[in-house]
Amino acid sequence: MIFELEYNIIQPVSLPKKKGIELYIKREDLIHPFISGNKYRKLKYNLVEAEKKGFKTLLTFGGAYSNHIAAVASVGQNFGFKTIGIIRGEELMNTYGKNPTLNFAKNCGMQFKFVSRTDFRNKNSEDFISDLKREFDSFYLIPEGGTNTLAVKGCEEILTKQDEIFDFLCCSVGTGGTISGIINCSKPSQQVLGFPALKGEFLQEDISKFATKTNWKLITDYHFGGYAKINEPLISFINKFKIDYKIPLDPVYTGKMLFGIFDLIEKNYFPKGSKILAIHTGGLQGIKGMNAVLKKKNLSIIE
Ligand SMILES: *Cc1c(COP(=O)(O)O)cnc(C)c1O
């Protein structure tokens, strides 16, 4: 079986000339509508491994709007694995049909098990896993968010030879698997900047576990209060970005990163003449679900 969905498109974003900065976006979001961006990269070698070991079922974990859940469900449908999603929140058991991400995953054939927040927190414990093995028999386990050694290996393929011309490589950070892969395949002279989408003191340490170089830094000023928290300035930035550059951004990750990059350019963080490459890690499937939440709160929606 071949899991390659190769894609390599870099798009320039024109900035005011006086800043002397060049910004390009690597469109990993275009790899596939659902197995998109870094989620494809993170799954690739895990799928190779699962197949090699003869597993027919993939089991993983996620929240109600998880890009990772959508990607695993779609992988199952496209590449012939049965998929099981352990979902945070028992209350979703009766309402998941109204949740666009879970509804999509269900239509791809994913089987759900809804668990309480406490159980979800303990999902990596031996007891919890052996209960799952009793309930579902044999499966290939992919951790929440998909980060493991094989995921980092896949993310090491995001950069190619042509990307060596860039001075700064920017990427959004959730669990840190993606940035680790980017660090590992960067040149020591390049600076890797990570934009965490959540408040997370643990990230520095988590990334250090996988990263083989020290040419990286986390920019922690653009998480907007936490994971999946957004506000009006961020929404209007995302909407304007799409109009100006014809590139859709997701509200949880890439929108925050690009908001940060634009703000840093404005504040002259980057030396004149810098060439920046920002990785579009995908996540566009999450827009629908976020818009439903925004509508309920009477906020503007993402166009
Ligand atoms: C999951 C995700 C990330 C975070 O990736 P990590 O490897 O967990 O740091 C970034 N961007 C998008 C769009 C994602 O879906």
CATH number at residue 111: 3.40.50.1100
Do the domain assignments include residue 1?
no
**Ligand 1 neighbour 67 (Cβ under 6 A):** yes
Ligand 1 centroid distance, CA of 5 (Å): 18
Say if ligand 1 is within 6 A of residue 291 CB: no
Domain of residue 54, residue span? 39-146
Judge if 48 and 27 occupy the same domain.
Answer: no
pTM above 0.85, yes or no: yes
- What is the per-residue pLDDT for 16? 78
**pLDDT (0 to 100) of residue 52:** 96
Residue 302 placed within a domain: no
Q: Is the Cβ–Cβ distance between 179 and 192 less than 8 Å?
A: yes
- The residue contributing the CA closest to ligand 1 atom 10 is 172
How large a percentage of the chain has pLDDT more than 70? Answer: 98
Does the C-beta of 176 come closer than 6 Å to ligand 1? yes
Decide if pLDDT at 261 tops 90: yes
Looking at the structure, tell me whether residues 52 and 158 fall in a common domain.
no
Is residue 303 assigned to a domain? no
Number of domains in the chain: 2
Q: Is the CB of 172 under 6 A from ligand 1?
A: yes
**Residues 57-71: tens digit of each pLDDT:** 999 999 999 999 999
Q: Are 166 and 263 part of one and the same domain?
A: yes
Q: Report residue 145's pLDDT band, with 50, 70 and 90 as the boundaries.
A: confident
Pairing of the two strands 191-196 and 57-62: unpaired
Tell me, yes or no, whether 120 and 172 share the same domain. no
pLDDT grade for 6, boundaries at 50, 70 and 90: low
pLDDT at 2: 58
Residue 301 lies in a domain: no
Q: Of 110, 128, 146, which closes a domain?
A: 146
Q: Whose alpha carbon is nearest atom 4 of ligand 1?
A: 174
| Residue 115 confidence class, pLDDT cut points 50, 70, 90 | very high
Give yes or no: residues 234 and 122 share one domain. no
How many CB atoms within 10 Å of residue 142? 26
Instruction: Note whether 130 and 161 are same-domain residues.
Output: no
Query: Alpha-carbon dihedral of residues 281, 287, 288, 291, nearest 10 degrees?
Result: 160
Cα 162 to ligand 1 centre (Å): 23
- Does the C-beta of 145 come closer than 6 Å to ligand 1? yes
Q: Average per-residue pLDDT in the chain?
A: 95
Q: How far is the CA of 134 from the centre of ligand 1 (A)?
A: 31
Confidence of residue 1 (pLDDT cuts 50, 70, 90): low
Residue 289 included in any domain: yes
Region of poorest pLDDT, from 3-7, 201-205, 206-210, 296-300: 3-7
Same domain for 44 and 100, yes or no, is: yes
Q: Where does residue 298 fall: left (phi above 0), alpha (psi -120 to 50 degrees), or beta otherwise?
A: left
In a domain, 2, yes or no: no
Residue 204 lies in a domain: yes
Average pLDDT over residues 240-254: 97
Nearest CA to ligand 1 atom 2: 174
- Please check the confidence at residue 266 and state whether its pLDDT lies above 60: yes
Same domain, residue pair 159 and 285: yes
237 lines ligand 1 (CB under 6 A): no
User: Are 82 and 130 within one domain?
Assistant: yes
What is residue 177's predicted lDDT score, i.e. its pLDDT?
97
Q: Which pLDDT band holds residue 7 (cuts at 50, 70, 90)?
A: confident
pLDDT at 223: 97
Span 246-272, average pLDDT: 97
The helix (H) or strand (E) run that includes residue 85 is: strand 82-88
Residues 156 and 290 in one domain: yes
Please identify, among 146, 178, 211, the residue that sits at the C-terminal boundary of a domain.
Answer: 146
The predicted-structure confidence for 207-229, as pLDDT tens digits, reads as follows: 999 999 999 999 999 999 999 99
Pick from 123, 125, 124: which is nearest to 114 by CA? 123
Regarding the beta carbon of 147 and ligand 1, being less than 6 Å apart is answered yes
In this structure, are 112 and 206 located in the same domain? no
Of 188, 195, 259, the closest CA to residue 230 belongs to 259
Rounded Cα distance, 71 and 78, in Å:
10
